[in-house]
Amino acid sequence: MNSTQLSYFIMAAYFDTGTFRYLCFLIVLLLYIFIVCVNVLLIVVICVNRSLHEPMYMFLCSLFVNELYGSTGLFPSLLLQILSDIHTVSAPACFLQIYCVHTYGAVEYLNLAIMSYDRYLAICHPLQYNTRMTSDRIMGLIAVTWLYPLLACILIIHLNSHAELCGNIINKVYCDSHSVVKLACSDTRVVNTYGLLASFGTIVGSLAFILFTYMKILLVCFNGSKQTRQKAVSTCTPHLASILNFSVGASFELIQSRFNMSSVPLMMRIFLSLYFLTCPPLFNPVMYGLKMSKIRLIGQSLMTHVAAES
């Protein structure tokens, strides 16, 4: 069976929940609505308030846009499949979801890396911060964060869509590149090598850079004043929590994709595969919204203003 003739894939991880499907649908829908609302709210708050037009908040805005992007690549399809009796997805829709999922993951890691660079400059070189972190540099970093994954993942889709497939059953609740590659009956060395190199370069490169910046930050904190240590803790704690949360979810997904997990209960496998697509979009805006006093105060005033006008 050639992928050019393949019209659909079967998502085999779904199972019949009977009348509970409507409860599952409602829970997932409410989760999606909450993720959209809280991310959009923070994006609006950052964009409309000039006091938040600082590098840290610009990078946060990029992070929240990516959370919306990744959630939109998953939840609409997930909601349709929950209500469907036949769990199939068209080949173009499957490849589009693969593209969204992979670019979301790459953008997330790169965004967290440039956020660590911003914290490094603010703490280790405070006097040079404004001259180094100019508007042009901010826009350039954000552009690279988005353009590199969007362009790099085009080749993944090209290689997947031209592979000869001997089946169309994907044992997950969404499409991903490795699941399609496992269906191939042709030589997959090129797509496997490219996928591993792209993943390794993005993940390991980003984490290595983050580790380097935090080693520098720790050195400054050990040799600095109490005020410097307090500033580092207050600004770096949310960022470190975001890195840990997303990396744990990405590790779950990588382990499940590369190793046989048939001994793990189905519900647990589904949860682990969805973690990096659902928890960071939910966790990050809530954490930053509560942690960052500027965002919290302006968000509260905006909500009060909207409520007063309505």
Q: What span, in angstroms and rounded, lies between the C-alpha atoms of 212 and 196?
A: 23
- Count structural domains, the chain: 1
Residue type, 187: D
Query: Does residue 132 sit within a domain?
Result: yes
pLDDT tens per residue, range 202-242: 989 999 999 999 999 888 887 777 777 777 777 788 889 99
Give residue 310's pLDDT band: very low, low, confident or very high (50, 70, 90). low
**What is the span of the domain harbouring residue 76?**
8-309
Instruction: Note whether residue 1 is domain-resident.
Output: no
Q: What is the pLDDT of residue 112?
A: 96
177, part of any domain: yes
DSSP states of 187-209 as a string?
A: --HHHHHHHHHHHHHHHHHHHHH
The verdict on residue 295 lying in a domain is: yes
> Domain for residue 270, yes or no?
yes
Q: Is residue 150 part of a domain?
A: yes
φ and ψ at residue 252, rounded to 5 degrees: -55, -45
R_g of the chain, CA atoms, integer Å: 21
Position 269 confidence tier, pLDDT thresholds 50, 70, 90: confident
Spatial separation of the C-alpha atoms in residues 204 and 268, rounded to whole Å: 26
> For position 183, which CATH number holds?
1.20.1070.10
The answer to which of 51-55, 99-103, 184-188, 284-288 has the lowest mean pLDDT is 184-188
pLDDT band at 101 (very low <50, low <70, confident <90, very high): very high
Amino acid, res. 220: V
* CA 291 and chain centroid, separation: 20
Which pLDDT score, from 0 to 100, does residue 4 have?
45
Residue 191: inside a domain, yes or no? yes
pLDDT band for position 14 (50/70/90)?
Answer: confident
The answer as to whether 2 is a domain residue is no
